[in-house]
Every structure is written in C-alpha cells, then in structure tokens.
Structure 1
Amino acid sequence: MMIMYIPKFKLCFWLLSVLCLINCSLEFDPTDNYLINCGSSTNASVGNRVFLGDSNLNSSIVLSTPQKIRANTSSSSIPFSYSSDLYKTAEIYTEISNYTLSVTKHGRHWVRLHFFPFVYQSYNLSHAKFSVSGLNFTLLRDFQLTEDNPVIKEYLLNIASDKLVLTITPSSKSFAFLNALEVVSVPDELIPDSVKPVDSAGSNENLVNQALETVFRVNMGNTTVNPQNDTLSREWVPDEAFLKSHNLVQFLSNPKPVNYTKVGPTKEIAPPSVYGTASWLNTERDPTLNVNVTWYFNVDLGFKYLVRFHFCDIINNQPGQLMFNVFINSWYAYKHLDLSNKTSNLVASPYYLDVVLSESHVDMLTVSVGTSSDTSVYPNAMLNGLEIMKISNSKGLLDVDAESLKPSSKAKTGLIVGVAVGAVFIFMVLALVFFMAVRRRKRTYSDATKNKSNGATESGYRFSFAAIKKATNNFDESLVIGVGGFGKVYKGVLEDNTEVAIKRGNSDSQQGLNEFRTEIEMLSHFRHRHLVSLIGYCDEQNEMILIYEYMVNGTLKSHLYGADYPNLSWKQRLEICVGSARGLYYLHTGSAKSIIHRDVKSANILLDENRMAKVADFGLSKTGPDIDHTHVSTAVKGSFGYLDPEYLIRQQLTEKSDVYSFGVVLFEVLCGRPVIDPSLPREKVNMVEWAMKLQKKGEFEKLIDPNLKAK
C-alpha cells in the first residue's frame, strides 16, 4: 500500500478549504442576487456582500431614466455609525424611471430600498418626495424622509414572471432618489401560502398573491443581530425599546445549545443569534408571578399584519418544563403553548408560530406572553424573536393612502360648520360655568360667615387645613392607623368629638390627584350602609386630604390574619361577606352607569363597631361601560393576587373584574391566610392556584382555616 505524504502546511490549507466549502454549502445561496450601489461607478462592500456600482451592471439590469444625475457626498457628512460607502452616493430621478431586472427563479424575493439624505448641489435629498411601485403594488406613496439617518425599506414580492420592473415616480414639483437597491430571491419555505387569522374563525388569509412589508423585526434578549450574522442579511433590532414593563423581564443569551433539526425551522427562518437569546418573565423574586410580558408597536391603520413568533427554550435541559400563553392585542395567538410538544421533545429546538391580524382599527399592536394556569410545571413565559409584516390591501397599497386621508370639499364644509357650532357651544358652556361658579362662591362666602361647623369652613364637604391639623394633633405619628399607596391614614377627632379617619396624600404618591378627585366624586354621590361614608376633604396648601367615618374594628384582613383582633366566627364571616357583596352590588347597579371598584380586597373591607362590613377606598374606581358597550378599555389597576386574569390580559374592564376579586376575598375568608404568602412551599404560595388544585383533587377541606374546623 502506498501512503501519500502531505506537508503539514498543505494539509492545514486543504482542511480549511474543505471546512469553508462545508460552511458555504450550509448558507443560503440565492439564485437571483442583485445588489446595486446607485449613482456610483465603483463597488461598495457591506460585510461579506458586494454592491455593484451601477456603471458596472450587466444586461440583466436596465435603468431607464430620462436624465441620470449621480450625486455624492463626503464621508464627514454621514453619521459615524453609518459610514458605509453605500450611502456616499445616490441616483437622482427628476422624472418617472424604471429598473428592469431579469428573474431566473420565480417566487418570493426581497426588495430592499436604501435611503440616506444629503445635499448635492441644488438637491437636498431630504426634500425629495416620490412613490415606488412594482408588480402592481405601491410600495411607497408620496414618501419623504423625516430623519437624517439611513433608512431601509424591505418588501417581499412574489415574482411569477421573468422580469421585475420597479418604477420610481417623483411627486409633483419634486424629485426622487435611491442610494442602493437589493433584489434577492429567498427560500420557498420562508413565507407560507396561507395563515390562520388570530381574531377570526373564518378561512385562512391567502398570502400567495400579496406583497409584504417588514415593519418590525425584533430580537428578544435585547441584542442586535447585524445582517452579516443572518443568512438572509436581515437586521434584528433589540426589544427593550418596545417593552411595557422592563422590571418584569430577564434578558438571557445562550446560543450554543440551539438545535436545528430536519423537521423544524432552518437558519433561514431565523439564525442562532435570534433563537439563542430570549426575554423571559422574571420570576426570581416571586415564583408565583402571574402576569404578561408585553411589547408595544405602532402600526398603520387599515392593514392586515402577518405576525411571526420565534421560540426556543435555551434554559431548561429537560423537555416539558415550559408552558405559556401567547397573545396579540386581546386575542389568543396560542393558548397553553407547550414547546416540547411542538419540537418532538428535543431540547433547545426552535419553533415559530405564524398568525394574521385582521385590519387594524387602532394604531397600536401589542404582543404578550404570559404564564399558563393549566400547567403543573414551574410558571414562566418567554419569547426569542418577533417579525411583524404588513400585508398589501385590496388596492395593492403597502403605504398609507395619503389622498384618502384628505377630507373632501363636503367634509371640509362640514368640518368648518362643526368647528363653528362647537365653538359657540363651548362658549355658552363656559359662560354658564362661570356664572354658576360666581353664584356658588357668593353663597359659600355667605354660609361661611354664618356657620363654622366642626371647625371647618364648609363648601359642601370642604374642611380647612387648620381643622385637620387640630383633629390629628398636628398629624401625630402615634395616631397613624394605616398606610397605603395614597399616603398615611390617621385617627382624628373633630371639634364635636366625632371620630374620623383622615387620609393624607403623600407628595410622592404615584396615585395622587386623580385618586383624590375620584374618591370625592364617587363618595359624594353614593350613600349606602355597606359603603364607607366620606365626611369631607381638604385641598389647601397643596394638601390632598380625605375625611371618612371612623371604622372601629379596622379591616377584614386584620381579623383574618396578622393582627391582634379576635378571630371571626363562621357566622360573622358570612355576614361580612354578604354585607360586602351588597355594597358592591349597589355600586354596580345603583345608578345609570355602573361603578367598578377595581381594588376589591380584604384590606378595603372595613368593619364598624358592630362588625358590619363597609367597602372602602374608591381612588381607583371607574365608571362602567355604556349600555351599547361590553367593557371599558383601560390600563390595569388593582392589587396583585386579586386581579381578574381576563382584565390583566385584555385590559378590558367589566363588573366581572370586581366579582373575580371578591371571589378571592371569599377564599381568604375561608382559608384565613394571605393571598400571596412567600413563606409557604411553592405550591401553596398563591392561595387561588393552591385552592383550585385542591378543589380538582377533591381535597377542599384542606383549605379551611384551622380556627373554623368543626364549626
């Protein structure tokens, strides 16, 4: 046998060559790959890609324009982070111009348009206004740059012919420009033919004949992925800027274990640098945290959106450790998503989920992930990446139809008339308010000179600050009977020896003036034996002070646990529950519009000298929906552990949200323990979850407060 001797340096060179060939074979090699450096006679390198100067183009690309104007700028005028040769030159078009490109492979292609405005001779590119179209789709309509940074507009067009014609049309009395152009074929599997709508039970959305525009491409884990690190030259931006609550999130990075399989996503769907980073719900401080991580995105009205979620469990070494919910706006994109089922129980295997959101009637799209209640595993939620693509509308537009936003002549006339009528109406209302205010002020002054009841100069419920200081012995700390988000609560005695509870707003309070006004408005209009009565208020010297009837026996919470109050009997507990329910029922039904409390909890149910229950603390209360509406859309407010999950997820408030919170109070009454108790074993920390598990097992008796056993 003859053994061939290969010198070491040649062997190393050969091995490197083989490795490079293997690596290259794993990368996507596009059939059509047009990269054009517009307005330049030289090529420009961007990472490992070369953009050809438009004077070096072959016959596969033809630019038809009445007048070629090549613009260039010095490198000093380009922002440092974008100092690429690609943005030093531009082609200026003063009339309609066409790029005609030969297409070898039919199917989806990237079309990327690069823009960076600079001044060239008499042309200030930031003043350019123009449209771009192709394949009967309008990609840009009366487009004008609003920033002095490079902008890349990215589209996916499904090309079924042998040529693609891109038309650039300057707007009236303006011009157009382009710094660079990309037309690149993409893998067939990148975009499916149809996708299920998330907010409709109807048929799937057909994407074959639609154009798509990339609106957002986000990498969770708060890291940027540059085009050089993506097989399809995509840029992924960090997610931190889109997050609603940063303190709920933990950014993680662990790209090594990402395990691509034959049946799962490829690197063309998303690279390891995306699947290897994630934003996780931070449950380190509270393992029972039951909330959503939410990202906010501004979108255009009147368009459908393809939304793609990317998932890869890069933390758990065993499958079946993670289940969570995925939402778009208030809709379930996926309920109880178990990644191990989707990835054949393979560890760190990527998975992606596509859904379509129907035409948006609001300019905000929210995406959330949150813990699932239907799981026995450790509660958590995560997301690795997100793509949001606008779908062309029935007119073939991918840009806002500026003309349709302009009011017609009739609309203009109606607008003028409406403004005029509105102005007259507002003037009349202001005049009436002014008249009533003057009249009331005179009456108040007259009443004040005749009567000074309880040491207060009264205008309805108004007390003087001097009277409040006297009632609390100048806010003696020994008289503090409670502390809340609004401020401290003092026991006070008025001049007629009436005992009162005085809540003094903290200058650092996050609730502040809105809560102060809401409390006065609500309690000055409602009277019920099971609602705490408001006696008065004080707003002198920048103070926000509320005066209530004094409840001798404190809060229901204090009687159930954590205080020196005697234990309540079962009969007393039932009477307290019935009284509280009556108070809430009156709020929900006692006027034309219901009042939703929004903070029902045992600490806000007070007991008088006879232990009669009264619902208190209306600072977060909200007027309920109109008759023709099912809910009120509002930011989530309330106390952790008592929040209605549907309200938390959808931000849609109804009376049922109070009912859920009251249900939690009923559990407290039965169990005699806090809603959240971190000192207990993990499965018992959250009272509601523990109670539901015992109920399913038929072991409900384990819930009962030991003080109630056999009673």
Structure 2
Amino acid sequence: MMGGRGSTVFICVLLSILSSACLSSGFTPVDNYLIDCGSLTNTTVGDRVFVADNSASNFLSTPKNTFAKASISVTSGDYSPLYQTARIFDGTSKYTFGISQPGRHWIRLYFYPFVSGSYNMSRASFDVTTPNHAFLINFNVKTSVVKEFSVNVTSKNLVITFTPSGNSFAFLNALEVVSVPDGLITDDADTFNPAGGFKGLPFQALETVYRVNMGGPTVSFENDTLGRTWVPDKNFLIGNNLAISISNFAAVKYVGGGATQESAPNAVYGTATRMNSENDPNSNFNVTWEFNVNPGFQYLLRFHFCDIVSRNPNDLYFNVYIDSWLVAENLDPSSVADALAVAFYRDFVTAARVSNKLRVSIGPTNTIDNVYPNAILNGLEIMKMNNSLGSLGGPAPAVSDSSSKRNVGLTVGLSIGAVILVVLAGIFFMFCRKRRRLARQGHSKMWIPLSISGGNSHTMGSKYSNGTATSLDSNLGYRIPFVAVHEATNNFDESWVIGIGGFGKVYKGTLNDGTKVAVKRGNPRSQQGLAEFQTEIEMLSQFRHRHLVSLIGYCDEKNEMILIYEYMENGTLKSHLYGSGSPSLSWKDRLEICIGAARGLHYLHTGYAKAVIHRDVKSANILLDENFMAKVADFGLSKTGPEIDQTHVSTAVKGSFGYLDPEYFRRQQLTEKSDVYSFGVVLFEVLCARPVIDPSLPREMVNLAEWAMKWHKRGQLEQIIDSTLVGKIRPDSLRKFGETAEKCLADFGVDRPSMGDVLWNLEYALQLQEAVVPGDPEDNSTNMIGELSPQINNFSDVDNSVSAAQFEASSVDDLSGVSMSRVFSQLVKSEGR
C-alpha cells in the first residue's frame, strides 16, 4: 500500500500499464458516431478516430456550411486535436443519427471558443436540444469544455438541434453519440429527502457535472473503457489536512453483487481519500468536498467504494453525508460480498436543489464500539437530472404537488368496501416495513403522532412519562383541545395562513378569550415531525425568559401535531431586513434587537442546569413583538450541551445553510460556540440587509459571511452596509459591531467569544452609537469611548459571572409570569435545514 500524493508518478506509470488491459476487454458500443466538426481530415484521439466533417455531412441539415479554423495551434489538454477546427451554425441546424440499438446513449459536445474571421466564438449564444430534452439554453462558453449528456433513446433516430439565440450564432468543435452499456444506469437509487427509493431513473436525461477520482490523479479517457475522464479531488476538498490519499491497485476485486469495470476503472477503485486519523483513536471529524451546482434541479450522486485500507473484514464502518443528511450509516464495505477490496457503488437522488453548493462528506461512526475512526471514498459522480419539462438548462419550473390528484383517483376507484380493506391492510404492512427499515438506517422521518388513538388523547404515552417536561403531570395545563384550535383558526382557513415553515403551515387565530395566537400545524409529509415536536415542547415548557419564545399550548388529538404561540405583531427580523417590503429598521433598533437575541441565547447557554444549544440561529428565528423586542424562536433542533467533564456533544449535523458552523460540520462536535458562529452571520445580515446566500450575485458576493469579512479586514465595512443606514452609523459603533461579528466567525470555536462576551460588546456598540459629548451641537461625536467602562472593550476582559447577573436579573420577572410568552416559531422558513 502506498500513501500520499507523492505517489502520483508511480500511479501514472501503473495507469499506462493498466490501460491496454482495460481497453482490450472494454465495452464495444453498437452506435459509435465520432465527428471532428469543421475538419477536412480524420482526427485520431487516443485509440478513437473522429471522422472528417465533410465525410459526416450527410448527418447534418444546416442552412449554410461554415467551417472555422484556429489561427494558432490549440493546446488544450487531451482533446486539443479536436479544438483546431469548428463548424459555425448561423441558423437552426440539425444532426440526425440512425440508432441501431435503442437505449441509453452518451452525447458529448466539445467546445473551444476561438476567433475566426468575423466569428468570435466566446460571444456565441445558442440552445442545444433533442425532441424530448433541452440540453443547453442560451449557452455561452469562454473556455474549453466537454459537455457530456446521457439520454435514453427509444426511437430509430436521434435528432440534435442547434438553435442560435437572437442574432447570435452557434458553434461546435466535435461531437460524439455513443451507446452506453445497459446496466450502467440502474433503477435502484435511494432518496433521502424524503427517505425512500427513486423510480424511473433509466428514463431520465442526465448531464455529467463532476466525475472525480478520490486520492488519485486524472484518469483520462484512454484509461477508461467507456472513454470517461476522472479529475482529482484536491480542488474540491475542504480542509486538506483532514484527508490523506492512498492507493492499492492490486487489491481491487470485481465480483458479483458489486461494480464492474464499466462502473469505474481500476484506476479509480484502486485509489481513495481517507480520514487522516492515524495515531489518533479519538478522531471525530468529517472529510468534506464541496461542489458548485445549479439550483432548481435534482442530482444523481454515485459514490464509488472499495476498501483498500482494512486488513480484515468488518474493520471499517463509517457514515456518508450529502449536505447535512446522513444517507448511509455504519457503511461496511466488506459486507457487499463478505470480502475486502470489492468494488461497489451506491446511488442517491437529491431533492431539487435550493443552494448552489453541494457538499459530500464521510466520517466515523459514533454508534459502533471498538471501531477505529476511519472513512474512505474512492470516486464520485454528480449528474444533473432533467426537470419536469425535460430540460437540463435554464430555470426549473415550480414543483407541483400531484399527490392530491392521485388521492382523488384512488378514492373514486376504491368504492367497494372489501377492496378498501385489502388496500388499507397493504398500506399498513408497507408502513410498518418502511418504518422498520428507516429505523435501521437511523434517520427515520416517519410521521408518528404523540397520541395514536385518533380520538381525544389523555396521555403522551409511556415514552414521555418518565418525569420529563412533556409528561402528563407537568404539561396537562398546556394541552389545548382540538376543537378550540379548530375554532380559533376558522377551521384552518387557508386565507388565515401567515407563514409556511419546515414543520408545516402557520395560521393566525384568536382563542375564545380574545388572545391572538399563531398556530403551527404539522404537515405529515414534512421533513420534520415527532422529534422536533417533542423537543419544542420540552424546551419551551422549561424556559421562561423575556427574550425566548414560550409555549401557550399544544394539541396532539386526531393524529395532529399542533403548537400554539401568542401572536407576534412584527414578524421576523428577516422580514424587516429584506425581501418582504416591511419597514426598514434604524441602526439603534437593529442593535437593540441583536442585544435582545444575544440575551436570549446567553440564557440558553448559561441559565439552566445544562447548556442548551439552539442549533438553528438565524434571522428567520428572531421574532419581534409589538414593541420590536426580540425573542429567539424555533427550538425544534435544540440540544442540551455536554456534561461537565466533556467539551462537546457528538451529533449529526443539522442547521440552516449559510449559518452553519464549519467546525461543527467538519467534526460533528456541537458546542455553544456553534450558536455563536451562526449569530455572527446574523450580525452581518443585520448590517448589510441581504440574504446570507444569494446565488444570483457575482461569485465573490454569494456568501455574505465571506464577503463581509473581506471588507471588514480591509477596514471598509461601511462600503457594504444597508443603503438605508449610510451616514447614520457612528464610526466607532460600526467598528465595534464589525469586530464582534468577526470574532464570532472565527474558524475554530475556541477562538470565538461566549454569548456573554458578545452581549457586552453589542451593548458597548449601542453606547457608542448613543454617546453624547456635552457641547457637541451636531450630536455626532464618538469621543465618549474614554468615559465608558474599559473592561467591555475586550472579549477577554469580561467577567462572565457579572454579565450573567446583570443581564439576566430580569429573568426573575420572566419566571414569575402567569401567562406563556408572546411569540410563535418561525413564520417564514425559506432556508432548508
């Protein structure tokens, strides 16, 4: 076995030796069209011959034959011979290829923009389509690229159309239409959001976005029996020091039940990236790769595994994540064929992407004893799937919910009582089987009401009767009858919906005593369910604080999960920053809101027997009452902190994209400092009044935290503040606020301040903003710094016990209140968890 990337030379030599053996036994495509567009002679690339364009002209229908040739020799990687010439399309043009064997085919389009005469190909804009699919929409290319698509061709002919956009033109350097092995794309992919299986994959059009060789060098088309190219993973790794490369080509086995050499070549399965956990049996972190993707589309992710690390079977167990979703728990590569080094792959289909970033992680298991912490990945393929319109380009259409239509049809069809009973019995059987399967996977999302009798519930069940806050004895006063909730919301009138969150819809309502309420009704199809419902009740029934949400009541009758909060007149902090048209806030108002939220979080971290970590701090979870007083909301993901003799809690990563603590994501070790990081993002969000992730902006501006930190380090934070605040923030107040946010966003939790420290510094920033120097006619001086307490000017000088006493003195009043608090959790939830 070899380690380190220094083995690249040796690997390359091995690849050249392996290539002849691989190609000799490779797949022979039935359909194999290779065209060098614009060339008058055949072009050989590796062992493949691309025919001259004039020889292939009978495939093309075009209004004008225009060839282009580069003025200088093109040297662009392995495909440079194909980039010397191009064909120009001034009008709609079509290639028509006869298909000898229907099935999946690769369509590879080669582009290299050069200038030829009056044609500057970097300015070309065009569409590429087939009768059933749109591959490229308004496509424009600035550098060499190969766009690879695969589509299931069912007709005798495949027609590929090039359509210039407006007054522009289209171009193409080379073209492949090649048969794909029948078993390459199978219908056994899993989904994880929600959990289940994806059906219909063989009929999806796919675009290869990434094909990555973990732990090894580039694998060229010459070393892949299907002509694929695999790129190294080092440019996608987050935290190179957390991973090491390994190789062991001789160990790789292709056996029944696993992969074949058509799945991926030996050069991929024989290398891997693994955790850098050597000599540290307590290692607990993830190895993570990050990829840019197009929002609005689903993606097929194919993970390639081959245990070339272990000495014995059942030595290696690890977890696999897509974003923060645990998609494979306790994966044991040796279990595929009861042997080591057996090549295999696993397919997963994502939900339609909201973010333009996709992260893949591997990490150690925390649930199996006596297993050395390690994890490996040999290869990864990421393929975009066509949307409901058959398109792989352009914006995706809104996702429609057709389940209601199916339910209507089912109801009409099942009109005979006996049939209904049979169907219900079958559904019940499937429900139980799926629930057991998901429970084994460790991430069940099944909807299980707290009371399952379906009628008036009188108990939370034995699961909650062990003296917890959700037991019958402690929470009877919180239970509100379903009939009262139904009446308060006017029978859940849809016109009364004031928000939609991850748990379900939120309705405005009025109880029979006149109290305005917000009613959060759980959706059975939601990604959230019993765990979040239980946690919300447990947390909110224990805490009383003026800056935290408190529960008015809950209802778990009739298989419902409903949470009731007092109505908050001014909604979320987020709605007052951007996107909703709500009135803008002054700088003083924003500081006071941040201070209130910090007080609430500080109480969570210090005011209870064990620290409570919120885990989902964001502007959408900071609510404002009629006086714009801030309260922290939505405790569905909250978790109690570590024991006294521990530093962290090891747990699966959850939170909202853009606010998530990178150290928590990498190491799966949750501390109060994870909340501090998220709050730092909120501070910059308050200052700049823009989303934390905005894919529509230029690349350097997409991530708010990164963008703001760059400007802060330049000392020019005033250049990016909310336009409504320009000229209204005193420089020293802005400086202190920026310093506070910067410290919150430190890469490592140990370098971040506590919430108590953050609170002191925000109070100080407010004092700097409000400071008045006698005799200053314009009331705009910041020279009162010297008159303020010097100890709060530095995080390290804060006495946490003093800050806790000072800022939590008001909690006595909170605890003595008779009524519950005045907010509801998260009216607007646009970020995914």
Residues 609-647 of structure 1: per-residue CA shift (max 9 Å, x gap): xxxxxxxxxxxxxxxx972389999xxxxxxxxxxxxxx
1:72 counterpart letter in structure 2: K
Q: What is the letter of the counterpart of residue 242 of structure 1?
A: F
Letter in 2 for 1:350: A
SS at match of 1:273: helix
Q: Match for 2:350: what amino acid?
A: L
Partner of 1:230: 224
Distance in 1 between the 2:180 and 2:579 partners?
57
1:347 maps to which residue? Answer: 340
- Whether contact under 8 Å (1:37, 1:54) holds in the other structure is yes
Give the whole-Å Cα distance in 2 for the aligned partners of 1:514 and 1:322: 34
- Following superposition of structure 1 onto structure 2, how do residues 42-121 of structure 1 map, counting pairs within 5 Å? 42-57=41-56, 62-76=59-73, 78-79=74-75, 81=77, 84-121=80-117
Residue by residue over 1:314-338, the C-alpha shift from the partner in whole angstroms, topping out at 9 and shown as x without a partner, is 1223221111111112222211111
After TM superposition, give the deviation of residue 197 of structure 1 in Å. 1.4
For 1:495-553, what per-residue CA distance to the aligned partner results, in whole angstroms no more than 9, with x for missing partners? xxxxxxxxxx99x9867999469544425899xxxxxxxx954587xx765232789xx
1:399 paired to 2:393:
yes
Distance 2:798 2:116 in 1: 70
Question: 2:383 & 2:20 partners in 1: Cα distance?
Answer: 34
Structure 2, unpaired ranges of 5+: 1-17, 399-575, 592-672, 677-741, 764-787, 818-822
Is 1:429 matched with 2:586? yes
Q: 1:205 to 1:360 in 2, by over 3 A?
A: farther
Q: C-alpha deviations, 1:50-108, integer Å up to 9, x for none? A: 111111238xx5100000100001344x3454672200000000000000001111110
Indicate the residue corresponding to 2:289 in structure 1.
295
Structure 1 residue 227: deviation in Å?
A: 0.9
For residues 119 and 749 of structure 2, the distance between their equivalents in structure 1, rounded to whole angstroms, comes to 53
Query: C-alpha separation between the residues in 2 aligned to 1:284 and 1:370?
Result: 14
Ranges in structure 1 where 5+ consecutive residues have no aligned partner: 1-18, 405-417, 435-483, 487-504, 527-534, 552-578, 593-624, 634-649, 653-711
Give the drift of 1:204.
2.3
SS in 2 for 1:205: coil
Q: Is the 8 A contact 1:250 1:281 kept in 2?
A: yes
SS at match of 2:586: helix
Write out aligned runs for 1:106-145 (5 A). Answer: 106-145=102-141
Asked if 2 retains the 8 angstrom alpha-carbon contact of 1:42 and 1:52, the reply is: yes
Give a deviation string over 1:242-301, Cα, whole Å, max 9, x none: 112211101112212111124421111000110011010111142221221111111111
* 1:324 equivalenced with 2:522 (yes/no): no
Give 3-state SS (helix, strand or coil) of 1:190's partner.
Answer: coil
8 A contact 1:141–1:401 mirrored in 2: no
Paired amino acid for 2:367: D
Q: Is the 8 A contact 1:205 1:356 kept in 2?
A: no
Please give the alpha-carbon distance, in whole angstroms, between the structure 2 residues aligned to 1:233 and 1:347: 28
* Deviation readout 1:170-226 (Å, 9 max, x if unpaired): 000100000000000011000013522122245523123321111111110042111
d(CA) in 1 for partners of 2:241, 2:792: 34
Q: d(CA) in 1 for partners of 2:750 and 2:284?
A: 29
Once the 2 structures are TM-superposed, how far is the Cα of residue 400 of structure 1 from its aligned partner? Answer: 2.0
Correspondence for 1:688: none
Which amino acid in structure 2 is aligned with residue 50 of structure 1? V
Describe the SS at the equivalent of 1:387.
strand
Output the CA distance in 2 between the equivalents of 1:256 and 1:191.
27
CA contact (8 A) 1:327 1:369 kept: yes
Deviations 1:382-413 (A, max 9, x none): 10000111110111110123999xxxxxxxxx
Compared CA separation, residues 255 and 230, structure 1 to 2 (3 A):
same
The verdict on how the C-alpha distance between 1:274 and 1:630 changes in structure 2, with shifts beyond 3 A counting, is: farther
CA distance in 1, matches of 2:20, 2:755: 70
CA distance in 2, matches of 1:273, 1:140: 31
Residue deviations 1:582-616, cap 9 Å, x none? x9xx89x9899xxxxxxxxxxxxxxxxxxxxxxxx
Are residues 1:548 and 2:799 paired? yes
Tell me the distance in 1 between the aligned counterparts of 2:23 and 2:223.
Answer: 14
For the residue of structure 1 that corresponds to 2:245, the secondary structure is strand
In structure 1, the residue matched to 2:33 is 34
Task: Indicate if the aligned counterparts of 1:537 and 1:547 stay in contact, CA closer than 8 A.
Answer: no
Mapped partners of 2:321, 2:244: distance in 1: 19
1:536/1:548 contact within 8 Å kept = no
User: Where does residue 383 of structure 2 map in the other structure?
Assistant: 389
Partner SS, residue 208 of structure 1: helix
From the superposition, tell whether residues 278 and 21 of structure 1 become closer, same or farther in structure 2 (CA, over 3 Å). Answer: closer
Aligned equivalents of 1:421, 1:134: Cα separation in 2: 38
Hey, what's the Cα distance between the residues in 2 that align with 1:318 and 1:419? Answer: 57
Residue 363 of structure 1 is aligned with which of 351, 356, 365?
Answer: 356
Hey, what does 2:332 align to over in structure 1?
Answer: 338
Assess, with a 3 A threshold, how the Cα gap between structure 1 residues 424 and 206 changes in structure 2: closer, same or farther: closer
Task: Quote the residue 2:166 is aligned against.
Answer: 172
CA distance in 2, matches of 1:348, 1:191: 23
Q: Are residues 267 and 433 of structure 1, via their aligned partners in 2, closer, same or farther at CA, if it must alter by over 3 Å? A: closer
The alignment status of 1:256 with 2:274, answered yes or no, reads no
Structure 2 distance, partners of 1:549, 1:402, is: 50
**2:243 and 2:46 mapped to 1: Cα distance?**
32
| 1:120 Cα deviation after fit | 0.5
Q: Aligned residue for 1:680?
A: none
Number of positions where the alignment pairs a residue of Structure 1 with one of Structure 2: 456
Structure 2 CA distance for aligned equivalents of residues 424 and 212 of structure 1: 42
Query: Normalised by the size of structure 2, how large is the TM-score?
Result: 0.49
Residue in structure 2 matched with residue 462 of structure 1 by the alignment:
none
Hey, what's the Cα distance between the residues in 1 that align with 2:285 and 2:122? 44
The TM-score, its normalising length taken from structure 1, stands at 0.57
Given the superposition, is the C-alpha separation of residues 336 and 514 from structure 1 closer, same or farther in structure 2, using an over 3 Å criterion? closer
Alignment partner of 1:315: what SS? coil
* Alpha-carbon shift at residue 138 of structure 1 (Å): 0.2
Over aligned residues, Cα RMSD in angstroms?
Answer: 4.2
8 Å CA contact retained: 1:536, 1:546: no
The 3 A distance-change label for structure 1 pair 283 and 90 is: same
Alignment pair present for 1:155 and 2:149:
yes
What secondary structure is seen at the aligned counterpart in 1 of 2:798? strand
Indicate conservation of the 8 Å contact 1:197/1:205, yes or no.
no
Measured at CA, do residues 127 and 628 of structure 1 come closer, stay the same or move farther in structure 2, by a change above 3 Å? same
Bigger fraction of residues in strand: 1
Alpha-carbon offset, residue 304 of structure 1: 1.0
CA distance in 1, matches of 2:579, 2:293: 34
- Aligned residues of 2:22 and 2:223 also touching (Cα < 8 A): no
Q: Partner of 1:628 in structure 2?
A: 826
Which residue identity is paired with 1:51?
A: F
| CA distance, structure 2, for counterparts of residue 510 and residue 220 of structure 1 | 26
1:401-550, aligned counterparts within 5 Å? 401=395, 429=586, 515=752, 519-523=756-760, 537-538=790-791, 546-548=797-799
For 1:189, what is the secondary structure of its paired residue? coil
Do the aligned partners of 1:91 and 1:179 also contact (CA within 8 Å) in 2? yes
The sequence identity of aligned pairs, in percent, is: 42
Instruction: Give, in whole Å, the separation in 2 of the partners of 1:424 and 1:378.
Output: 53
* In structure 1, distance between residues paired with 2:239 and 2:320: 17
1:107 maps to a residue whose letter is: G
| Cα distance change of structure 1 residues 628 and 433 upon mapping to structure 2, 3 Å threshold | closer
1:354 partner amino acid: D
Q: Distance in 2 between matches of 1:362 and 1:591?
A: 44
